Amino acid sequence: MDQRITSLAHTLVTYSMKVTAGDNVLIEGFGQNTFEMIEALVNAVARAGANPFVRLYDTLVNRAILHANNDLRAQIESESDLQFMKHMNCYVAIRGADNILENSDVDMIKKSITAKFSKEVVRQRVNNTRWVVLRWPSATFAERVKMSTRAFEDFFFTSCLYDYSQLEKNMMPLKELMEKTDEVRILGPSVNLKFSIKGIPAIICAGEKNIPDGEIFTAPVKDSVDGFIHFNTPTIYQGSMFEGIHLWFKNGQITEATCSIGDPKQLCAILDTDDGARYIGEFGLGVNNVITKPMMDILFDEKIGGSFHLTPGEAYEDADNTNRSIIHWDMVMRQTAEHGGGEIWFDDVLVRKD
């Protein structure tokens, strides 16, 4: 086995999830190319004296299930999943699907049924387990980002096997500044936003929830976002791709939304899923400078060095602005000079330029 796989499994078990003897650890794998990593994780969990549980998923089978979806089916499944998740102390998901657009032709209503009934399962996992999720490299993933398979694997492990304890120390001054800040101003050729983050904690992400990692996030005061933004990074949500998303805000709410690539009606349908979907639940800064271009995968893209992201929908409870939704859609803007630059101000402090 590639030593980088066993090293990453060790990091996930000992650092990210902090597995201890007697823990129940759920390992979920999406795609057959994840099997070797799952094997390494099972071995690492067992060495820690814990109990590994494995669930495997296939994207084509999942697509067929979504096409056949209905309220009763989704309710029974979610009730079973919730009871199972309540037994778990730790959770890790390895996402290795070949086709990221596999569910693009599934009816929006069918997909929203699963989101509605799985919400409590997700909350149980997020709030009551030590969890981490990661994408897994594949030839298809490499082709998507115009790299050879081996070059992409090298990039993947370099971005994932980070010195996360040092990264956490490096982000501490930014956390302290954010937690003293009232007004945030974001300026640039295609953005002019202001909002407050007063009284909301800033959360450092350094290898404990996502791999790769490297972001710090908080949330805007719910009704404080005003202005506009034209995102310059592709985004995939619920199996569909969008580019050039343009949002306008007033009193915290998205009042208008368009896109240059993708179905504008679908974009608006997602934002109309529930009352909270048109408010922002997260504001984060990406600081992983190994990641410099979009991977069309949010686990990478929200960490891009020189980027920030805004998230229509659910706020995390550890940085809570009270917004609730079954949507949580991270949208990324890069502000490096080659992408038009821009400035971020915390009150009267310029914290980043270009």
Whole-angstrom CA distances from 266 to 126, 224, 241, 263 are 27, 26, 10, 5
Give the mean model confidence (pLDDT) for residues 272-288.
96
**Is 100 a residue whose pLDDT tops 80?**
no
Q: What's residue 163's pLDDT? A: 86
Q: Is the dihedral angle over the CA atoms 239, 240, 243, 245 positive or is it negative?
A: negative
Q: What's residue 131's pLDDT? A: 95
Give the mean model confidence (pLDDT) for residues 215-240.
95
127 vs 122: CA distance, rounded Å: 8
**Is 44 a residue whose pLDDT tops 80?**
yes
Q: What's residue 86's pLDDT? A: 97
Q: 87, exposed or middle or buried, with CB in 10 Å at 0-12, 13-18, 19+?
A: exposed
Q: 316 with 203: CB under 8 angstroms?
A: yes
Alpha helices, DSSP H, located in the chain: 3-11, 35-47, 59-67, 71-85, 108-128, 139-144, 149-160, 164-178, 264-271, 298-301
Give the mean model confidence (pLDDT) for residues 209-216.
92
User: How distant is the alpha carbon of residue 12 from its chain centre?
Assistant: 17
98 vs 59: CA distance, rounded Å: 8
Q: What is the pTM of this model?
A: 0.82
Average pLDDT value for the chain: 94
Element (H, E) at 93: strand 90-95
Give the mean model confidence (pLDDT) for residues 268-276.
95
**Is 59 a residue whose pLDDT tops 90?**
no
Q: How confident is the model at residue 248 (pLDDT cuts 50, 70, 90)?
A: very high
Q: What's residue 161's pLDDT? A: 87
**Is 338 a residue whose pLDDT tops 80?**
yes
Q: What's residue 216's pLDDT? A: 97
Taking 3-state DSSP, the helix, strand and coil percentages for the chain, each rounded to the nearest 5, stand at 35, 30, 35
Give the mean model confidence (pLDDT) for residues 258-282.
96
**Is 19 a residue whose pLDDT tops 90?**
yes
How many residues are given for the chain? 354
